Structure 1
Amino acid sequence: MANMTATRQPVPWTAPTATDPVATTVRLPGSKSMTARALVLSAIADGPSTLRGPLRARDTELMAAGLRGMGAHVSTVDDNRWVVRPRPLRGPAHVDVGLAGTVMRFVPPVAGLASGPVTFDGDPQARLRPLGPLVRALRSIGVRIDASDAGGLPLTVHGTGEVTGGEVVIDASASSQLVSGLLLAAAAFEKGIVVRHVGPPVPSAPHLRMTTQMLRAAGGAVDDGTPDVWAVQPGRLSGREWGIEPDLSGAVPFFAAALVTGGQVTLLGWPRSSTQPVDRLRQLLHQMGGEVTLGTDGLTVRGTGSVHGLDADLSDVSELTPVIAALAALADSPSRLHGVAHIRGHETDRLSALSQELTGIGADVTESHDGLEIRPRRLRGAVFKTYDDHRLAHAAAVIGLAVPGIELNDVACTSKTMPEFPALWSAMVAGQ
């Protein structure tokens, strides 16, 4: 088994404090979720595909490299136009998953279609991320996999060039990606697939809708009409042009800056209709004191000068939890965030990390099994650990707008989804 990825050196960073309301427009890279799905669907399609406006970041480059290693032609030379030409998939190959849930959960089902062994491993923390349900599901439809004693990374998929498919029962309460990974590759299985979820609710439902919508756009026959059941018929997917939307999750800290400073931030290029959960985000920001409008120039958030606490079930938009928690720590009333027990298995245990770091700067935080209660207090500058987690870095940056002396022990972790983040953030605060 190949060695895990070498440790990256941390880059300390002092979050800039805003002296005036921010007023800016930002044009952000493409959605990580859409880029990852488009790459997988393109790699198993019948013809070439292009991705317009993809996200170039660590997660998506690892995805491209993994598919390329198995034989697909993936050209990422042009930042704004990636080209994928499917080829027969083969091993031996090695996939470095880094710390990317999309890579570790979307690529193993594709590796079952390869001829030969494909090994998977990544950053040390990646070995702790939930993968066992996917491994068991793939074994149940005829894929031979060697996994760690814990049922996850490092693992080897012994591809035979075909996957039988059929019916799968899975507990996907730890991550919707466990279902999406099976569905994305299923049209190439001999019998397609029927996935039945049994267990607590599957989180991040908008991401599952994105998966089924993109599958249909590629020509896949998908039935998701029965709750907790998804069926994909065997068939051929078509190569196509994918227009990748701006990354809504990446925009959230910038929108939060409008609330914290009483300013205005516009995300340029936002589509009239979206596969991302913009309506839910609009509702949350409105509850916390923001005004959200969609105009011809993009999606605009205006702060009203106050940030309000809220009681919110974030199970469908759990990626937003760190930034919402940061806003809650700066609010004028207490907040209760719940429904996100599964984010303990993300890049780090996000609930524990948020509780510890917010407490460390003066907030009054109670951690529950599935969320946080945050009672605002006077905050103070201190070192804010990011735990190699880009969302924790975003949360720290938001707090730093209002609290001088917030020092991130590592801002380079933002390269996972937005390498430009420190520069974009500093420029926004400086009014550039």
Structure 2
Amino acid sequence: MTESPVHPALWPAPVAAGAVDATVTVPGSKSVTNRGLVLAALSSEPGWLRRPLRSRDTLLMAEALRTMGVGIEETAPSSDAATAGADGGGGEAWRVIPAGLHGPATVDVGNAGTVMRFLPPVAALADGPIRFDGDPRSYERPLDGVINALRSLGARIDDDGRGALPMTVHGGGALDGGAVRIDASSSSQFVSALLLSAPRFNQGVEVRHVGSALPSMPHIRMTVDMLRSVGAQVDTPESGGEPNVWRVTPGALLGRDLIVEPDLSNAQPFLAAALVTGGRVTIPDWPERTTQPGDALREIFTAMGGSCELTEQGLTFTGSGRIHGIDVDLSEVGELTPGIAAVAALADSPSTLRGVAHLRLHETDRLAALTKEINELGGDVTETEDGLHIRPRPLHGGIFHTYEDHRLATAAAIIGLAVPGVQVENVATTAKTLPDFPALWTGMLGEATAPARRG
């Protein structure tokens, strides 16, 4: 776990004075937006992304593609409430105009896994060197799977043997492609990274995962679905292929008009608020069918004591006033772990969260961070080999450090609903994927917020 810096301004997490009753419009999916940007940049004709997420991770992706020569034009959101869409700004769209990829260029990945992993294969198709650098934590995140795979497919990469950032990809204007074996057990993004650019490889690609169980499979399914939507031919284990093998045929990608779904993982803290307060929250435009991991919240939070209804208007989740512990395998939906752990710390019985050892390699070591921060508020959380065991205890206020991890910050806000005095260090880190979180949070609470206590 990386050390959190000396804390900037502390955000007092609001305490709910009663049951919430709100409709919260969640911005677009980061995962869909960044995959859509990459595919549009590699297409043979211009395309559109409508209702894209504007957050640190997606703006880093857009700027990185621009540095390599891709045109990305942003239309201003409409101020007319009648045209407002699921982006919360109404009518915003990005027009992506493919161009010859070229260097020299420098890409700032920040601490965005999608940028640091999805763009090296794109850079291998560029004409000239592309340097990748980012936040200090990005140097610690695994990238060896992508680097080694690209080298075996014909790319030249200088990383001084680190298998991590910073590094330079020396693009030759094309990449042979072909068959490659990788261990993607530390991140499913290794697979997605190769698949997204594979239609532009001379031979396409055959990716064979050879490690232990793959985490976050819904994200690979998202990649495959989005590839097929722009005309790529993809064979997968689900379509009758070999287990742990994905094949992409070389070919042109079509420009599309993509409407970005709301980010269902970012809906988690708002649904959790209904569960914690025994209230009701509606998320508009929740898709009936989706590959987003956040869709699992319907089942998980229902098992923890709520109920939900999906209609044409969206998903309405209602808390019962009771929170139950849960024993659940989160290997496919690991990013939901911090929010589930926060709710579990307020439950009426213990919880075991399994299958998420890979979270030790995320924005921070999420398992160690959750254990330390919840325990410092009086909790009883134990790390296991692949997850957390949480025994609910009466909690008290205190500083909840976030380690520059957006999901630690939203987990702290969830606990703060029921525990007075929780102060969230660096709540601004939520801008990584969820801009204006504090305003969305207080807006949801409305009159269900306890009055501020005077000093």
Range into which the TM-score falls when normalised by the shorter chain: over 0.9
Please say if 1:302 is aligned against 2:318.
yes
> Residues 190, 209 of structure 1: CA spacing in aligned structure 2 closer, same or farther, 3 A cutoff?
same
Distance 1:8 1:144 in 2: 39
Which residue of the partner structure matches residue 406 of structure 1? 422
Q: State which of 39, 42, 45 in structure 2 corresponds to 1:44.
A: 42
Hey, what does 2:83 align to over in structure 1? none
CA distance in 1, matches of 2:161, 2:442: 45
Query: Match of 1:243?
Result: 259
Distance, in Å, in 2 between the alignment partners of 1:78 and 1:183 is: 32
CA distance in 2: counterparts of 1:199 and 1:388, whole angstroms: 29
- Which of the residues 374, 380, 383 maps onto 1:364? 380
Question: Structure 1, residues 166-199: CA drift from partner, whole Å, max 9, x if none?
Answer: 0010000011101000000000000000000001
User: How big is the shift at 1:416?
Assistant: 0.2
The one-letter code sitting in structure 2 at the alignment partner of 1:215 is L
SS in 2 for 1:293: strand
C-alpha offsets along residues 70-103 of structure 1, whole Å, 9 cap, x if unaligned? 0000123435101100000000011000000000
User: Are the aligned partners of 2:265 and 2:294 in contact in 1 as well (CA < 8 Å)?
Assistant: no
Q: Give distance in 2, aligned partners of 1:395 and 1:421.
A: 12
Deviations 1:329-378 (A, max 9, x none): 00000000010000100000000000000100011111112100000000
Residues 149-298 of structure 1: pairs in structure 2 closer than 5 A: 149-225=161-237, 226-277=242-293, 279-298=295-314
The aligned counterpart of 1:313 is 329
Question: What amino acid does structure 1 have at the position aligned with 2:379?
Answer: A
TM-score, normalised relative to structure 1 = 0.97
Structure 1 runs (4+) greater than 6 angstroms displaced: none
- Is residue 424 of structure 1 aligned with residue 440 of structure 2? yes
Secondary structure of 2:349's counterpart equals: coil
Unpaired segments of 5 or more residues in structure 2?
78-91, 449-455
Q: Extract unaligned runs of 5+ from structure 1.
A: 1-6
> Quick one: which amino acid aligns to residue 36 of structure 1?
N
Residue in 2 that maps onto 1:352: 368
Which amino acid counterpart does residue 166 of structure 1 have in structure 2?
A: G
Alpha-carbon deviation of 1:426?
A: 1.1
Q: 1:77/1:8 Cα in 2 relative to 1: closer, same or farther (>3 Å)?
A: farther
Identity among equivalent pairs (%): 58
Tell me the distance in 1 between the aligned counterparts of 2:151 and 2:17. 57
1:132: which partner in 2?
144
Displacement, 1:302? 0.3
2:341 matched to 1:343? no
The residue aligned with 1:110 is: 122
Task: Quote the Cα distance in structure 2 between the aligned partners of 1:263 and 1:129.
Answer: 38
Q: Which residue of 1 aligns with 2:15?
A: 17
Report the aligned-residue RMSD.
Answer: 1.3
Tell me the distance in 1 between the aligned counterparts of 2:161 and 2:398: 39
On the 8 A contact 1:120/1:154 being kept in 2, the answer is yes
Distance 1:261 1:151, change over 3 A: same
Q: Where does residue 65 of structure 1 map in the other structure?
A: 63
SS at match of 1:265: strand
Q: Answer whether contact 1:23 1:431 (CA < 8 A) is retained.
A: no
1:431 positional shift: 3.7
* Shift in Å, 1:292: 1.4
Where 2:100 maps in the other structure, the secondary structure is coil
Q: Over residues 114-152 of structure 1, what are the superposed CA-to-partner deviations in whole Å (9 max), with x where a residue is unaligned?
A: 000000010000100010111000000000001144211
Q: CA deviation at 1:296?
A: 2.0
Cα gap change, 1:281/1:125 in structure 2, threshold over 3 Å: closer, same or farther?
same
Q: CA distance change for structure 1 residues 8 and 294 in 2, over 3 Å: closer, same or farther? A: farther
Secondary structure of the corresponding residue to residue 231 of structure 1: strand
1:278 CA displacement: 5.2
Separation in structure 1 between the aligned mates of residue 28 and residue 140 of structure 2, nearest angstrom:
28
Distance 1:393 1:168 in 2: 38
Note the alpha carbon deviations across 1:36-65, whole angstroms, 9 max, x for none. 000000000000010011000000000000
In the TM superposition, residue 271 of structure 1 has moved relative to its aligned partner by 2.2
Aligned: 1:83 with 2:95: yes
Partner of 1:3: none
User: Which one of the candidate residues 51, 54, 65 is aligned to 1:53?
Assistant: 51
Residue 98 (structure 2) pairs with residue 100 (structure 1)? no
State the one-letter code of the partner of 2:271.
F
Secondary structure, aligned partner of 1:51: strand
Cα offset, 1:268, TM superposition = 0.7
Question: Taking structure 1 as reference, are residues 10 and 59 closer, same or farther at Cα in structure 2, changes over 3 Å only?
Answer: farther
In structure 2, what is the Cα distance between the partners aligned to 1:278 and 1:124? 28
d(CA) in 2 for partners of 1:12, 1:232:
48
Count the aligned residue pairs.
426
Q: Could you tell me which residue of structure 2 aligns to residue 4 of structure 1? A: none
Q: Equivalents in 1 of 2:205, 2:9: separation in Å? A: 44
C-alpha separation between the residues in 2 aligned to 1:299 and 1:135? 40
* Counterpart AA for 2:359: I
Q: Deviations over 1:390-424 (max 9, x none)?
A: 00001000000000000011101001001111110
Residue 401 of structure 1 aligns to a residue whose secondary structure is helix
CA distance in 2, matches of 1:334, 1:409: 27
Counterpart Cα distance in 2 of 1:431 and 1:187: 52
User: Partners of 1:429 and 1:148 in 2: how far apart?
Assistant: 50
Q: Secondary structure at the match of 2:18?
A: coil
Mapped to 2, the partners of 1:48 and 1:166 lie a distance apart of: 27
Q: Cα gap change, 1:397/1:148 in structure 2, threshold over 3 Å: closer, same or farther?
A: farther
CA contact (8 A) 2:22 2:445 kept: no
Q: Render the CA deviation track for 1:189-245: whole Å, top value 9, x for unaligned.
A: 000000000011110011000000000000000000322100000000000101100
